[in-house]
């Protein structure tokens, strides 16, 4: 058997590994630094305390319980030795016949260390929980703050990035302000809580249709969100956000959803990469500069006639590339010619609060309540496992009728005993 190492069990890596389950020619090593697969599209609902983290995460070992040829290793991959065909990890080295990089992206602060230090990202489940803690703690802190300037700084939430993540989070926060805070804090006036959404381009949801752009901004404004387009953050010192327009906003809560950059490991020659740390791949997702190394999903850059600047960094591209690569590994095992990748764009969507969403399908787009039902249905279909689908559906139904949830838990990290012991022993 030949060994395929897949680095990353996100949308692309997981699909590839699933499609190669019990393949007679391949032994699969699926390596991820986390022991679960995460469903990023609903992460903003974890951050806004509408869903439990476990409803949008799925343990990898459970997925592969019946797979005889899949080995799972939970560790961070740190380096590649492509000449000798092995990778280095925090638990040891692994050799490969074929390597698939499916490591996805991380938050891009565009080199601004202040933003990295002070703004809250939302790219992983732990980050979504951290943001949930921060949002809930802010309400508690506001209770005990009497200085008006300090209070306003706490109550100003600045979301940077008007893509689906920023738009959906802004909608969720404004619904929290309207439906939850008056009930949870009858002794505090939260009317001054202000949600800003900043977007660098002239429109929110800029890759979507004109109708979806216009309606998303309209929906947000009707919920009280202050939308500022063609607006960039120049700096943030942890207290004041400075904008390109010269305006300044006092805020202790800046949420950064404004860009991504590919995760990297050491050892790759420079000519493997293009902008955004993406691997330059051919039509079969093979890294052009190396043999037996492939890249799929967010970190792959495949220039085609239709997508000269690479495919959009969305889940469906990763899923389709993972699915095709598994078929191509099968062809490789049977000495058949490989099939080039062709992306089928099934559309995009975003929701803005209750009963409002925007949906772009390949041939037409629609907005409003029908779009919201479509959004819910598609997301339920995409979540892994029946149990998680039911959990999410139940939570949504309950909060649909009572505009509330019971998930507003501030879960603070505790001291790691293992780390304590190891430090003592050394
Ligand atoms: C908040 C948010 C909302 C989104 N909403 C949507 C949406 O509505 N629709 C949509 O289509 N797309 C959405 N996306 C984008 C979508 O999630 C990505 O396009 C998709 O996850 C890419 O899949 P991937 O397999 O390339 O990488 P990922 O799914 O990001 O998976 C990468 C995996 O690699 C692992 N990893 C990284 N580095 C290492 C390392 N050194 N060692 C070991 N493991 C490593 C990570 O732990 C992770 O499990 C959203 C993204 C975010 C962050």
Give how many domains the chain has, as a whole number: 2
The enclosing domain of 295 has a CATH number of 3.50.50.60
**Cα 370 to the center of its chain, rounded Å:** 25
Distance from the CA of 426 to the center of ligand 1, in angstroms?
Answer: 36
Q: What is the pLDDT of residues 345-395, one digit of tens each?
A: 999 999 998 899 999 999 999 999 999 999 999 999 999 889 999 999 999
Q: Which of 40, 48, 326 most suits a substitution to test ligand 1, by most atoms within 8 Å of the C-beta?
A: 40
- Look at residue 147 and tell me if it is in a domain: yes
Residue 251's pLDDT is what? 98
**Nearest CA-CA partner of 235 in 226, 225, 243:** 243
Asked whether residue 373 is domain-assigned, the answer is no
- List ligand 1's pocket residues with C-beta within 6 A: 7-13, 31-34, 40-41, 43, 76-77, 102-104, 122-123, 164-165, 263, 265, 297-298, 313-316, 318
Tell me the CATH number at 178.
3.50.50.100
Among residues 258, 287, 314, the one where a domain terminates is 258
Tell me the three state secondary structure of residue 381: helix
Instruction: Report if residue 414 sits inside a domain.
Output: no
Q: Find residue 105's DSSP bridge partners.
A: 262
Residues 136 and 216 placed together within one structural domain of the fold: yes
Question: Is there a domain that residue 317 lies in?
Answer: yes
Could you tell me if residue 8 is left (phi over 0), alpha (psi between -120 and 50 degrees) or otherwise beta?
left
Do 29 and 150 sit in the same domain of this protein? no
Apex 304 CA angle, 303 and 310, nearest 5: 40
Residue 363 lies in a domain: no
pLDDT score for 355: 92
- Listed residues 202, 229, 258: the one ending a domain: 258
Element of type H or E holding 2: strand 2-7
Compute the distance from residue 246 Cα to the ligand 1 centre, in Å: 34
Which of the listed residues 5, 7, 8, 358 should we mutate to test ligand 1's pocket, taking the one with most ligand atoms within 8 A of CB?
8
CA–CA distances in Å: residue 379 to residues 155, 342, 383, 393, 420: 31, 23, 6, 10, 41
Task: Point out the domain boundary residue: 243, 258, 273.
Answer: 258
C-alpha–C-alpha distance, residues 286 and 101, integer Å: 10
Rounded to the nearest angstrom, the distance between the alpha carbon of 384 and the centre of ligand 1 is 15
Residue closest to 348 by CA, chosen among 102, 134, 192, 168: 168
Residue nearest to atom 51 of ligand 1 (CA): 40
DSSP string, 193-228: -EEEEE-SSSSTTTTS-HHHHHHHHHHHHHTT-EEE
Indicate if 300 and 239 belong to the same structural domain. Answer: no
Whether residue 254 contacts residue 238, with contact meaning beta carbons closer than 8 Å, is answered with no
Cα-Cα-Cα-Cα dihedral sign, residues 44, 46, 47, 49: positive
Is residue 295 assigned to a domain?
yes
Residues 121 and 102 reside in one and the same domain:
no
Question: What is the distance between the alpha carbons of residues 138 and 152, in angstroms, rounded to a whole number?
Answer: 11
Residues 176 and 237 grouped into a single domain: yes
- Range(s) of the domain holding residue 324: 2-33+75-107+260-333
Residues 90 and 146 in one domain: no
Residues 217 and 291 occupy one common structural domain: no
Report the nearest atom of ligand 1 relative to the CA of 379.
8
* CA of residue 84 to ligand 1 center, whole Å: 29
On whether residue 345 sits in a domain, the answer given is no
The rounded Å distance from CA 340 to ligand 1 centre is: 23
Q: Are residues 100 and 158 in the same domain?
A: no
Pinpoint the alpha helices (H) of 315-415.
315-333, 369-382, 386-402
User: How far apart are the C-alpha atoms of 296 and 144, rounded to whole Å?
Assistant: 49
Beta bridge partners of 5: 29, 99
Helix/strand/coil (H/E/C) assignment for every residue in 114-170: HHHHHCECCCCHHHHHHHHHHHHHHHHHHHCCCCHHHHHHHHEEEEECCCHHHHHHH
> Which residue has a Cα nearest atom 37 of ligand 1?
103
Distance (Å, whole) CA 244 – CA 254: 16
Asked whether residue 220 falls in the same domain as residue 320, the answer is no
Nearest atom in ligand 1 to the alpha carbon of residue 260 is 53
Side-chain-side CA neighbours of residue 127 (13 Å): 16
Residue 104, both tokens: 């996805």
Pocket test for ligand 1, best of 10, 99, 312 (most atoms within 8 A of CB): 10
Q: Which residue positions in the chain have pLDDT lower than 50?
A: none
pLDDT at 421: 81
* Distance between Cα 83 and ligand 1 center (Å): 28
Asked if 214 and 133 sit in the same domain, the reply is: yes
Pocket test for ligand 1, best of 16, 29, 32, 60 (most atoms within 8 A of CB): 32
**97 shares a domain with 155:** no
Tell me, yes or no, whether 127 and 221 share the same domain. Answer: yes
Determine the Cα–Cα distance for residues 273 and 288; give it in Å rounded to an integer: 10
| Residue 107 bridge partners (DSSP) | 260
């Amino acid at each position: 058997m030949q060994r395929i190492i897949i680095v990353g069990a996100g949308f692309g890596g997981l699909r590839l590994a699933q499609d190669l389950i019990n393949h007679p020619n391949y032994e699969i090593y699926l390596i991820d630094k986390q022991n679960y697969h995460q469903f990023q599209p609903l992460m903003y609902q974890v951050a806004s305390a509408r869903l439990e983290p476990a409803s949008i995460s799925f343990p990898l070992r459970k997925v592969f319980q019946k797979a005889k040829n899949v080995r799972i290793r939970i560790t961070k991959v740190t380096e590649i030795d492509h000449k000798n065909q092995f990778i280095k990890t925090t638990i040891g080295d692994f050799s490969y016949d074929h390597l698939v990089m499916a490591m996805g992206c991380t938050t891009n602060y565009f080199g601004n260390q202040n933003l990295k230090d002070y703004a809250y990202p939302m790219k992983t489940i732990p980050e979504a929980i951290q943001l949930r803690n921060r949002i809930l703690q802010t309400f508690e802190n506001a209770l005990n703050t009497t200085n008006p300037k300090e209070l306003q700084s706490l109550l100003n939430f600045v979301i940077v990035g008007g893509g689906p993540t920023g738009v959906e989070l802004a909608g969720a926060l404004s619904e929290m302000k309207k439906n939850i805070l008056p009930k949870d804090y009858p002794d505090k006036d939260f009317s001054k809580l202000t949600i800003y959404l900043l977007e660098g381009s002239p429109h929110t949801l800029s890759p979507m249709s004109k109708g979806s752009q216009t309606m998303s901004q309209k929906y947000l404004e009707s919920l009280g969100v202050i939308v500022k387009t063609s607006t960039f953050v120049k700096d943030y010192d942890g207290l004041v956000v400075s904008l390109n327009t010269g305006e300044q906003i006092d805020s202790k809560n800046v949420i950064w959803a404004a860009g991504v950059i590919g995760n990297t490991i050491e050892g790759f020659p420079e000519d493997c990469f293009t902008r955004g740390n993406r691997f330059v791949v051919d039509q079969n997702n093979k890294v052009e500069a190396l043999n037996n190394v492939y890249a799929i999903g967010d970190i792959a850059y495949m220039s085609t006639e239709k997508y000269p600047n690479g495919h959009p960094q969305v889940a469906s591209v990763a899923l389709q590339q993972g699915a095709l690569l598994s078929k191509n590994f099968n062809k490789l095992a049977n000495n058949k010619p490989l099939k080039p990748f062709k992306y089928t764009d099934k559309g995009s969507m975003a929701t803005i609060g209750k009963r409002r969403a925007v949906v772009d399908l390949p041939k037409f787009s629609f907005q409003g309540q029908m779009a919201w039902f479509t959004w819910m249905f598609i997301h339920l279909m995409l979540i892994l496992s029946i149990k998680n689908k039911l959990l999410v559906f139940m939570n949504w139904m309950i909060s649909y009728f009572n505009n509330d949830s019971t998930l507003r838990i501030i879960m603070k990290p505790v001291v790691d005993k293992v780390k304590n012991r190891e430090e003592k022993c050394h």
